[in-house]
Amino acid sequence: MIPAITTSKSLENSGITLETIDFESLRHENDSINTWIDHLIGDTDPPLLSTTEVTLNSCFLLWSAIWVRARWREPFDWTTQQIFHYANGDHLVDMMFVENRFEHAEVDGLSAVNLPLDADLSMLVIVPTRKSDQLSTVIARFDHTMYLKIVRALKEKHVVLRMPKFA
């Protein structure tokens, strides 16, 4: 099957926007992209897109976001400031805590917790079990097969969970 050619008019009708950016002025473009992200999902500190991720060798940047407005079925108990380990260093963030029974699995060096939301939705949170694993390594080996292995291994158990608060 040959993919259809997308025109700017069809993008306009779908609500999708395209922008041409100048990879020569990286700092300005990174600031523009981070401002756009902050406008959509709230303030992100540190910024989601760092100056090291877009380089002069970049020719295309695809950013996709899905916004789900739902409440946790099991609300987080409390929030406190704690250190979170980002790729570019440690940062003090608001960390949410909850202790309850959730579906959980550990598969191939990944730990997953399925957090139920209202309206029959859930969020599957997946993190490496080893702190030394970089996010890029996890993403590189994460595929549909890995996802199915994790989902099939989920079993309800007592979980103490802490994760950064997000809007």
Tell whether pTM > 0.85.
no
Average pLDDT over residues 1-13: 47
- Among all chains, which residue has been given the structure tokens 């992209």? 33
Residue 73 within a domain: no
pLDDT in tens, 71-118: 888 888 888 999 988 777 888 999 999 999 999 999 999 999 999 998
Between 134 and 15, where is the model more confident? 134
**SS3 category, 125:** strand
> Which residues face 79 on adjacent strands?
96
Residues 83 and 153 in one domain: yes
> Is the Cβ–Cβ distance between 72 and 117 less than 8 Å?
yes
156 and 88 in a common domain: yes
pLDDT band at 130; cut points 50, 70, 90: confident
pLDDT tens column, 29-73:
777 777 777 776 666 666 666 666 666 666 566 656 566 678 888
Choosing from 38, 67, 96, the residue where a domain stops is 67
Give mean pLDDT, residues 157-165: 93
Q: Look at the chain and report how many structural domains it folds into.
A: 2
The dihedral of CA 154, 98, 92, 165: what is its sign? positive
The reported pLDDT for the residue numbered 1 is: 36
Query: Residue 47's pLDDT is what?
Result: 66
The answer to whether residue 2 scores a pLDDT higher than 50 is no
Query: Do residues 37 and 105 share a domain?
Result: no
pLDDT bucket at 5, cuts 50 / 70 / 90? very low
Supply the pLDDT for residue 36.
74
* Same domain assignment for residues 89 and 157: yes
Instruction: Please indicate, yes or no, if residue 72 is contained in any of the structural domains.
Output: no
| Domain end position, chosen among 12, 40, 67 | 67
Residues 82 and 150 grouped into a single domain: yes
Q: How far is CA 45 from CA 113, 140, 161, 165, in A?
A: 24, 25, 21, 11
Residue 8 belongs to a domain: yes
Q: What is the CATH number of the domain that holds 155?
A: 2.30.39.10
Q: Up-side HSE of residue 21: CA atoms within 13 Å toward CB?
A: 22
**Which of 69, 67, 33, 27 shows the shortest CA–CA distance to 48?**
33
- Evaluated on CA atoms 7, 12, 16, 20, the torsion sign reads positive
SS3 of the chain: helix, strand, coil, percent, to 5: 25, 35, 45
Q: Is residue 145 part of a domain?
A: yes
Domain that holds residue 7: 1-67
Whether residues 150 and 129 share a domain: the answer is yes
**How many residues in the chain?**
167
